[in-house]
Every structure is written in C-alpha cells, then in structure tokens.
Amino acid sequence: QLQLFKTQHINYFFPVFNLGAGYHSESKAKEYKHVCKRACQKAVDRLRAGAMALEAVTAALTELEDSPFTNAGTGSNLNLSGDIECDASIMDGKSLEYGAVGALSGIKNPVLVARRLLSEAQKGKLSAGRIPPCFLVGTGAQQWALTHGIPPCPSEKMATKFSLSAYKRNKRKMELAEKIETEHHFLKRQRTSSGTPISSSLDTVGAIVVDQEGNVAAAVSSGGLAMKHPGRVGQAAHYGCGCWAENAHDARTYATAVSTSGCGEHLIRTMLARECSTAVQAEDAHQALLEAMQNKFIGSRFLASEDGVLGGVIVLRCCKCGDDQSSENLQALLVEFLWSHTTESMCVGYMSAHDSKAKTHISRLPPGAVAGQSLAIEGGVCRLGATND
C-alpha cells in the first residue's frame, strides 16, 4: 500500500534543513517549527560569514540539541537508570571524513564531540603512528571529549520536566507489564508486550547543508529510545545509517547530503542514509528516492519480519551542471531538496542565504495511510546563481 503526496515545487534555494520524524501534536508542532527556524538561521548566519558547509551544519545541530523539545542533547529520552546517553555523527562531503559518538553521557552537545573527532582525524596519525579514532562510545567518548577541552554537563541539567515525567510514567508501565507477565507465568521469550506501550520520542534531529562552493555536509543527533538497554547505540552514530555527505567528483554528477530520523534499528539494518545518497545519482531524484524508500526501506528484505518500518529522510542533491538555458552562467548551482517519511509526520525547515526567514513545514501521511507501511514524499528544486539573480 502506497500513498503519495504530489511533489510541491517551492521556488527557493534551500541550503539548510532539519528534521524530526515522529508524531507531532499541534502544540508540539509549533515548538518544532520555532526550533527549526532558529537552527536554519544559525546555519545561514555562518554561511553568510563565509563558513563552509561543515561549520554551518554543526551550528544548526547545536541549536537543535539545545532545544528541550527535541530528543537530542537537552531533553533527550532517559535510559533505564534515568540517565541520558546520546548518539551523534557528522560527515564532510569535501574531505569525506566522518566523526561519531555513541551512548555518550555528560556532554551537552554530542555533535561537537563528533565534529572534533572528525577534525582531529584530519590532522593525521597520533604519536607512534597510531590511527586516530572516528567513532567512540560510552565512557571512552566522554573522556576523550573532556581531554579535548569540551566541558562536562551533568545529566540532571539535560533532563527536562517533560523527559522526567515520561521516565516515571514509562517506569510504572514497565513494572506493571513485568508483574503481569510473571503472575501469569508467561514465557519470558514470548514477547507478550502486555500493557500500554512505552512512549518514546523518535524525534532525532538532523541537518544537511550546501555552501556556495557546492560543498555538502550532513549531521544527525539523537537521545535514543526511552528505557533503552545499556549500551544500545542507534542509527545516529552508525556509518552510512544516520547521515551521509559526498561532494560531486569525476565519477559522480551530484553532490548529495542525507540525514535520517526514526527507529534506529530499522535505519541501521537498511543503511538508509547511504542507500538514499546512492539512489539519487539517478536522473530523476524524486522517482529515485521514492523507489529507494519503497524497495530499500518499507519493502526491504532485511526488515521482512517487521510489521511497520519507521523512518524519515531529508535529501539534498546539487550540481554545478548548468543546462543549456544557463550556459551563460556556468557557476549556477542546481539544488534539489526532498524529504520522505513513513512516520505519521515529519517536521522540516529550510532556508537559503538569500532568504530573510526560514520556512518550515510539517509533512504528514495522507488520511487513511498506515504509518510504517505508507510513505509521503515531497520536495522542490531551485537554482542558485553566482550572480545576484
């Protein structure tokens, strides 16, 4: 079963986008739009000051992590013992360097640690020829951050009234479910899933950026699942799963940047970020993304046993390939922005360096569509001239 939104053409150039795939109530939607706008603004400010895509994407993510309404950084879901453990990663399309952290506690902005891992690796080998790390987890990641001058932040400061009350509610639900299961001598293995399900925010955040030279960068950050198992790491930290960025080069017509959100386990097992990046090298990006979401995600052989597959992607593709009409302006960047999701909704924001304000949009599945089995896809195209057109 497949439901579609018509592609909506928006005559804008969009270098920045953020997302959270998940359910967005009307009140939450408003907060989400505000956060998206601020994040776009932060990134565009950096671009206007001459920063490259990597720096701009970091600025957007920091803003998203700092919002108490997103499941990333401050406001993240709490783990079983009431602590916050975050995942984040970042990729630079120019150098193709990558940095990631998993199950990281006690740091306000996990994306800054990922960013720092990326830039430290660019400096080359460590003493005695050791290879610098690109992905660190747990206490090792935390220690590395502290020794690299990133200040600690206690979990209590990152928890919010909302995340704490969700934690208490979830804990009661879990205890009740476990009590029922033992009283009725259910086989432990028999996943009865009694009681109301744990409420867990799937609102991972991400951003993708293209700068004026055509460099792309992507990043993603997540607080993970509520009541998660110790050591659980989601897609936001996994290579090829949470984000992907690759500039155009000889054998690659388009620069692409992708960031994903949703159920980490589904996104890891399908390597969705890289799949989408590869797919949209095809001529028709909209059709290619639609097919990737259908065949490599909803219909993926790797998720055949799942009743619903939950996720969302934002995809940016651009080329300097000025077509015939624009041959007088070879530097024109053709930018296409697409988003697609199988969750109820996804919040997207975008802004160009020529805009005075960011645009935001809450994309929803059409009425009657089943989340996890249907998808929505939308997007737009625009041309950014090197001249002031």
Ligand X SMILES: *[C@@H]1O[C@H](CO)[C@@H](O)[C@H](O)[C@H]1NC(C)=O
Contact residues for ligand X (CB under 6 A)?
Answer: 79-81, 83, 85, 105, 230
Length of the chain, in residues: 389
* Residue whose CB is less far from ligand X, 68 or 138: 138
Q: Which of 114, 67, 63, 58 is nearest to 86 (CA)?
A: 114
| Least distance between ligand X and beta carbon 111 (Å) | 18
Q: Which of 58, 70, 204, 360 is labelled catalytic?
A: 204
Closest CB 140 distance from ligand X, rounded Å: 11
CA distance 245 to 176: 44
> Is 256 assigned a catalytic role?
no
**Cα 312 to Cα 21: distance, rounded to the nearest angstrom:** 6
Handedness of CA 162, 163, 164, 167 (dihedral sign): positive
Q: Is the CB of residue 376 less than 8 Å from the CB of residue 3? A: yes
Closest distance to ligand X from the beta carbon of 160 (Å): 17
Minimum CB separation of residue 231 from ligand X in Å reads 7
How far apart are CB 172 and ligand X at their closest, in Å?
A: 17
Is the Cβ of residue 141 or residue 365 nearer to ligand X in the bound state?
Answer: 141
Q: Closer to ligand X at the Cβ: 30 or 232?
A: 232
Cα 376 versus chain centre, distance = 17
Closest to ligand X by CB, 31 or 83: 83
Minimum distance from CB of 171 to ligand X (Å)?
A: 11
335 closest CA partner among 17, 3, 50, 6 = 17
Contact 351, 44 (CB under 8 A): yes
Element (H, E) at 121: helix 110-122
Q: Which is nearer to ligand X, 83 or 355 (CB)?
A: 83
Count CB-CB contacts under 10 A for residue 223: 32
* Nearer Cβ to ligand X (159/257): 159
State phi, psi for 100 to the nearest 5 degrees. -150, 150
Q: Centre a 10 Å sphere on the Cβ of residue 383 and count the other Cβ atoms it contains.
A: 17
Residue type, 220: V
Separation between Cα atoms, residue 55 and residue 42, nearest integer Å: 10
CB atoms within 10 A of CB 6: 7
Between CA 323 and CA 249 the distance in angstroms is 18
CB 234 to ligand X: min, Å: 13
Which is nearest to 142 in space by CA: 89, 103, 116? 103
C-alpha 297/C-alpha 368 separation (Å) is 20
Residues taking part in catalysis: 204
